Amino acid sequence: MTATALTQTAALGGRAVIRTARQPANVIFPLVFPMLLFAVNAGGLKAATQLPGFPTDSFVAFALAVPFVQGALLATINANVEFARDIQTGFLNRLALTPVRGIVLLLGQLGGLMTIAVVQAVFYLAVGLAFGVRLESGFGGAAMLLLLEVVIALGFAALGSWAALRTGSTEAVQGLFPVFFVFLFLSSINMPRNLIEADWFRWIATINPVSYLIEAVRSLVIEGWNWEALGLGFAAAGGLSIVGFVLATHALWRRLERT
């Protein structure tokens, strides 16, 4: 990538961050809502730690993984709604009329969203630490967690960008939220997979890539360095990212149509 392309990517990414920062609802909601659910679940499901085989006696530590995934989801949906709005208002055309390469338009958007996700992740980590959670994987684990968050955010962001570019519709992108929400809840979000009683639910959670994202983050918090969980988490996040990026790139070429 040339220096110019890097500068352009940074400028577009910066715009995505600024635009989010200047809309309080888009800042507060992805920070507060996951924390709210975290508080509700951590308090309401504390009794689950009494189940034989539950991997920790702190449900707060167990539940802390969820905001990282949920927050990435919320932030990227919001930002991609704005991306769809760029298409609706013609702002994307404005950018397309410059010498900027098409792929830079996508990379800038994704870069901005990954930045937002990292900022959020630092917030969730700080809240977790304030509530007495200690990462079993230590300081290195925190760094690994942020890296994992970047890849998770990239996966959701790329899929959201695909929806924005494919449809050019803010409603369609917003409509992704319930879809992702379903994937989030049909996972090991509230219970370790091996303790899920209903066979059919356990099967769904097993084939759901979101389970591996959560379990990878969770392993850094409650287990330490579980390379299998981390590997599966990065593989799931990476897979989502690759699929999302390919789809988004294809949608970008179709959307731009410029010669």
Q: Cβ distance 83 to 70 under 8 Å?
A: no
90 binds other proteins (CB under 8 A): yes
Rounded to the nearest whole angstrom, what is the least distance from the CB of residue 142 to other proteins in the complex? Answer: 26
98 binds other proteins (CB under 8 A): yes
Q: Cβ distance 79 to 112 under 8 Å?
A: yes
DSSP percent split of the chain into helix, strand, coil, nearest 5: 80, 0, 20
Question: Binding residue for other proteins (CB under 8 A) from 110, 151, 189, 220?
Answer: 189
Q: Cβ distance 222 to 188 under 8 Å?
A: no
Can you read off the two tokens belonging to residue 157? 């962001």
Q: Is 9 helix (H, G, I), strand (E, B) or coil?
A: helix
Question: Binding residue for other proteins (CB under 8 A) from 95, 148, 214, 221?
Answer: 95
Question: Binding residue for other proteins (CB under 8 A) from 166, 208, 220, 232?
Answer: 166
Rounded to the nearest whole angstrom, what is the least distance from the CB of residue 139 to other proteins in the complex? Answer: 29
Residue 204 or residue 243: which is nearer to other proteins going by CB?
204
Rounded to the nearest whole angstrom, what is the least distance from the CB of residue 231 to other proteins in the complex? Answer: 24
Question: Binding residue for other proteins (CB under 8 A) from 65, 73, 163, 205?
Answer: 205
Rounded to the nearest whole angstrom, what is the least distance from the CB of residue 7 to other proteins in the complex? Answer: 6
The count of residues interacting with other proteins (CB under 8 A) is: 64
Q: How far apart are CA 46 and CA 85, in angstroms?
A: 42
Rounded to the nearest whole angstrom, what is the least distance from the CB of residue 161 to other proteins in the complex? Answer: 14
Q: Which stretch binds other proteins (CB under 8 A): 67-75, 83-91, 138-146, 222-230?
A: 83-91
Question: Binding residue for other proteins (CB under 8 A) from 132, 200, 207, 227?
Answer: 200
Can you read off the two tokens belonging to residue 82? 């704005």
Nearest to 111 by CA among 1, 250, 224: 1
Name the CA dihedral angle for 45, 43, 182, 164, rounded to a multiple of 10 degrees: -160
Rounded to the nearest whole angstrom, what is the least distance from the CB of residue 207 to other proteins in the complex? Answer: 14
Whole-angstrom Cα Rg for the chain:
19
First to last CA, the chain: 21
Q: Which stretch binds other proteins (CB under 8 A): 71-79, 113-121, 198-206, 215-223?
A: 198-206
Q: Cβ distance 106 to 248 under 8 Å?
A: yes
Rounded to the nearest whole angstrom, what is the least distance from the CB of residue 25 to other proteins in the complex? Answer: 8
Q: How far apart are CA 25 and CA 123, in angstroms?
A: 16
Q: How far apart are CA 185 and CA 188, in angstroms?
A: 8
43 binds other proteins (CB under 8 A): yes
Q: Which residues bind other proteins (CB under 8 A)?
A: 4, 7-8, 11-12, 15, 18-19, 22-23, 25, 29, 36-37, 39-41, 43-48, 50-51, 86, 88-91, 93-100, 165-168, 178, 182, 185-186, 189-191, 195-198, 200-201, 204-205, 251, 254-259
